[in-house]
With several copies, the nearest count.
Chain A
């Protein structure tokens, strides 16, 4: 056990070292081009992270504020998606004809790249901020909806029979049987939704601009400041990881999951 842990630490260390070594070899030769060296990236990281809270005018703020803006958009869109997907999922999960009727629409809309929604959103909503939300909703909706439907359908039929034999009302069935049954899979859906949203917001912010990690990446791209982009990638990854862990923690709150 502890030998395995030591070995794991060694593997992590060696992999990281080899990766940075290769990176350095690949980039340190051609310093005129785009590719950043590890050292330049580290310098950039120190610079960016040493003052994350500055504010100078509306388009010039520290990385913290960009992060905050992205998080706020993702969480808002995600909440709206949940408010739509969960009741709809319960309806579609329990009423077969509604499920069959809406399935073709869901199946076609689901695989549409959220980025393709961007222009349409802008056209329809006439507002960049609402468009970003719209795109997040369109990406977060489907995993949550499909998982809620599946969760509701996976309810143990014996539990429903039990409910009938004790003459439980419709509302009690939903609250005491369907909801707890569907919860674990709903949480899986939440996780998928959140990670898709996080993936998409970066792209959306590249288009809608103003503030956010996506805007940050784009602004650095404008200058071809690739080391800063590498730093942003790392930050995006770490925050995405934290979000995922937060939703996974729900699994523990739901004891039977």
Chain B
């Protein structure tokens, strides 16, 4: 892919000027906080807020706890080990509505990043795979059932006429296991988070088949999720946290900050990766594994707003692929209600407002060329989606 159109609603902030005059909120109930994260580049806002002192600036003393996979983090969150954590965008919805073991009332104040994923395939498929139709019989890694990766890959495969439940083997792998599985020929490819797409290229295990940005530009990826109970008991802390993470996301999004974001995340306690690898991803200048060097500044973006359309699309897809624990989520209105129970748009708006950042204006999402009309969700819950 070459550079796409800039999303219309990117917050217009001068680098380093936002929130300068913002000070810690008075009356933070409990400034000590443990936040869980998965060591991937999407975690930049949550992680970098610590070394950059953004949490401290907002009056929080945060301990970051690293987890190996999303199920582990899910378990720890449900068990109450962490009250606020890095999540995949579908997770707060699944947790809140109880689509799997471990229901927990959850709210999601911020989507922390958009784009930032890719389909990486083993080198042996270089000359044979043109589109989803060529992936019949593949074993493809995904990080979690309740992930945009899963939903996007399934939809993408379906556009090639494949039934993702029957014609391929979608195998859940922890992000860190993906490259080794690709190297050993255990899988044909994966739709995974960075840095593992780029690490696969660096290790000669595979090539970047497509960025998810090219399937749905501006798709939600990771988010901040907190337990309802905690948010209600600690309203000021919740507000401070939301503000701090939004601040860090906006900071991370600035192209000028990206080399520094890469370097401070690369250390052993956070992502434990080579800084150069992270820099190439964040800066959007990277080899794609086929010999070309790509320029793609939108490979990943950090635009902190929980748009309801995201939630509604996610719910349609969970319904579509049978991931709702056999429940029918209903029509558009019901999906909207189910989304707003979880997506805490007011909290996000207030945080951005506090920071002096504009709220992004509405836009229509386009997924694999199909526009998403929130009033017509029914077409998105059928196995075959036609516009």
What is the chain A residue whose CB lies nearest that of B204? A32
List 7 additional contacts besides A122-B180, A224-B199; criterion CB under 8 Å: A36-B101, A57-B166, A57-B167, A59-B269, A122-B75, A125-B184, A224-B180
Give 20 CB contacts A-B under 8 Å.
A32-B103, A33-B79, A56-B267, A56-B269, A57-B167, A58-B137, A59-B169, A60-B269, A122-B76, A123-B101, A126-B79, A127-B186, A209-B66, A219-B268, A221-B177, A223-B172, A224-B100, A224-B199, A225-B101, A226-B101
- Taking residues whose C-beta sits less than 8 angstroms from the other chain, chain B's interface range is 35 or more
Would you call A123 and B166 a contact (CB within 8 A)?
Answer: no
Given A122-B184, A209-B65, A224-B71 in contact, is the A32-B104 Cβ separation under 8 Å? yes
Partner of A222, one of B102, B103, B185, B272: B272
Please report B residues at the A interface, Cβ cutoff 8 Å.
39, 63-72, 74-76, 78-81, 98, 100-105, 137, 139, 144-145, 163, 165-169, 171-173, 176-177, 179-181, 183-186, 199, 203-204, 267-274
Would you call A210 and B65 a contact (CB within 8 A)?
Answer: yes
Mark contacts of A218-255 with chain B using CB atoms, 8 A cut-off: 1 yes-contact digit, 0 otherwise.
Answer: 11111111110000000000000000000000000000
Would you call A59 and B68 a contact (CB within 8 A)?
Answer: no
Would you call B75 and A34 a contact (CB within 8 A)?
Answer: yes
Q: Which 9 A-B pairs have the closest CB atoms?
A: A126-B79, A60-B269, A59-B269, A224-B100, A59-B169, A57-B166, A222-B172, A32-B103, A222-B176
What is the chain B residue whose CB lies nearest that of A31? B103
**Interface status of A119 (Cβ within 8 A of chain B):** yes
**Interface status of A80 (Cβ within 8 A of chain B):** no
Would you call A60 and B268 a contact (CB within 8 A)?
Answer: yes
**Interface status of A174 (Cβ within 8 A of chain B):** no
Would you call B272 and A32 a contact (CB within 8 A)?
Answer: no
Q: How far, in Å, is A65 (CB) from chain B's closest CB?
A: 12
Docked complex: A33-63 residues within 8 A CB-CB of B:
33-34, 36, 56-60
Partner of A128, one of B102, B169, B176, B181: B181
Q: How far, in Å, is A18 (CB) from chain B's closest CB?
A: 25
Given A31-B103, A58-B166 in contact, is the A207-B78 Cβ separation under 8 Å? no
Would you call A126 and B185 a contact (CB within 8 A)?
Answer: yes
Give every chain B residue within 8 A of A34 (Cβ-Cβ): 75, 78-79, 101-102, 180, 183, 203
CA distance A209 to B181 in the complex (A): 9
Give every chain B residue within 8 A of A122 (Cβ-Cβ): 75-76, 79, 180, 183-184
Give every chain B residue within 8 A of A220 (Cβ-Cβ): 272
Give every chain A residue within 8 A of B102 (Cβ-Cβ): 32-34, 123, 224, 226
CA distance A57 to B270 in the complex (A): 10
CA distance A125 to B78 in the complex (A): 11
Give every chain A residue within 8 A of B167 (Cβ-Cβ): 57-58
**Interface status of A139 (Cβ within 8 A of chain B):** no
Number of contacting residues on A, CB 8 A? 33
Would you call A223 and B272 a contact (CB within 8 A)?
Answer: yes
Pick the most buried of B80, B102, B144, B169: most chain A CB atoms within 10 A of its CB. Answer: B102
Q: How far, in Å, is B180 (CB) from chain A's closest CB?
A: 5
Give every chain A residue within 8 A of B179 (Cβ-Cβ): 224
**Interface status of A82 (Cβ within 8 A of chain B):** no
Q: How far, in Å, is B145 (CB) from chain A's closest CB?
A: 6
Would you call A209 and B173 a contact (CB within 8 A)?
Answer: yes
Give every chain A residue within 8 A of B104 (Cβ-Cβ): 32
What is the chain A residue whose CB lies nearest that of B171? A209
Given A126-B184, A222-B144, A223-B273 in contact, is the A58-B169 Cβ separation under 8 Å? yes
Would you call A209 and B68 a contact (CB within 8 A)?
Answer: yes
Would you call B64 and A221 a contact (CB within 8 A)?
Answer: no
Q: How far, in Å, is A214 (CB) from chain B's closest CB?
A: 10
Give every chain B residue within 8 A of A223 (Cβ-Cβ): 71, 100, 145, 172, 272-274
Mark contacts of A185-207 with chain B using CB atoms, 8 A cut-off: 1 yes-contact digit, 0 otherwise.
Answer: 00000000000000000000011
Give every chain B residue within 8 A of A33 (Cβ-Cβ): 78-79, 102, 183, 203-204
Pick the most buried of B75, B168, B181, B185: most chain A CB atoms within 10 A of its CB. Answer: B75
CA distance A209 to B71 in the complex (A): 13
Give every chain A residue within 8 A of B165 (Cβ-Cβ): 56-57, 60
Q: How far, in Å, is B272 (CB) from chain A's closest CB?
A: 5
Give every chain A residue within 8 A of B101 (Cβ-Cβ): 34, 36, 123, 224-227
Would you call B79 and A57 a contact (CB within 8 A)?
Answer: no
Given A32-B203, A131-B184, A222-B69 in contact, is the A60-B267 Cβ separation under 8 Å? yes
CA distance A225 to B145 in the complex (A): 12
CA distance A221 to B270 in the complex (A): 14
